[in-house]
Amino acid sequence: MQQFVISPCSPTFLNLLSLPSSSWSRNGRFLLSASRDWNCIFWDLLSGMKQETIRFSTPVLMAQMHPRNNSIFVAALYQEPPVLVNMAEGTIKRYELPTEMGETADTGGNTSDKEKEFAANGSGGGGVWS
């Protein structure tokens, strides 16, 4: 097991430089880190040891621990369906979550200034009006 040491020369430090997501357990003992190097790492912060490394076939954009069960987390993968991971009983089981691949997502936003002029953008093309 690898100890959790952060120094500028350690591989752990280099992993944290490209860390798009981290998730703490409810009790603060465990940390789940997700990185663009295709790995999720489950740390026991009390002992300072790495408990599990889960490698995926694509970069991990986000990972979030279950709020009550530290052995379960969900990971959002780059251009792949999200995955539910169960690390209970010493085995790692992955379950692909259903999604509708190929669908485009509509994004949008709006804002207004003091004169109540609105600007909207996104899939609708945007516009400014008062």
Q: Is the pTM of this model over 0.75?
A: no
Q: CA 86 to CA 72: how far, in whole Å? A: 5
Q: Given this model, what pLDDT does residue 117 score?
A: 54
Paired tokens of 124? 């609708």
Q: What is the DSSP string of 74-114?
A: EEEETTS--EEEE-GGG--EEEEPP--TTPPPP-EEEEE-T
Q: Which domains does the chain have, with CATH numbers?
A: 1-125 (2.130.10.10)
To the nearest 10°, the Cα dihedral for 112, 118, 124, 126? -100
The tens-digit pLDDT sequence of the chain (130 residues) is: 555 444 444 445 445 556 678 899 999 999 999 988 899 999 999 998 999 999 999 999 999 999 999 999 999 999 999 999 999 988 999 999 988 766 555 555 555 555 655 555 554 544 444 4
* Cβ neighbours for 108, distance < 8 A, ≥ 6 positions apart: 120, 121, 122, 123, 124
